[in-house]
Amino acid sequence: MKFEISNLGYIKQAEIELGDLTIICGKNNTGKTYVNYAIYGFLRTWKFNVDFDIEDVKEITRSSE
C-alpha cells in the first residue's frame, strides 16, 4: 500500500510504500510521528486490521534477514 503525503507538519512532500515491515527513521523533529499518526488514522478509518502481535513482527524481521 502506497501513501502520498504533503504539507503534514514539517513534511512538505513524501511517498511511503508500506511492506511487511516498514521503518521510518530520521532526525528529531522531522515529522516521523506525524506520518505514523496519519497512516494509523487512515487505516483505522477504513477498518483495516492494524492490530498485530509482537511475535508476528519478530517473525517478519527474521524472515527478511
pLDDT at 53: 62
List, in order, residues 6 or more apart from 7 with CB less than 8 Å away: none
Cβ distance 11 to 35 under 8 Å?
A: yes
The H helix count followed by the E strand count for the chain is 2, 2
Q: What is the pLDDT of residues 2-56, one digit of tens each?
A: 889 888 888 889 899 988 888 999 999 888 888 888 888 888 777 655 565 666 6
pLDDT at 44: 78
Select the more confidently predicted residue: 56 or 1.
Answer: 1
Q: pLDDT-based confidence at 58, cuts 50/70/90?
A: low
pTM value is: 0.59
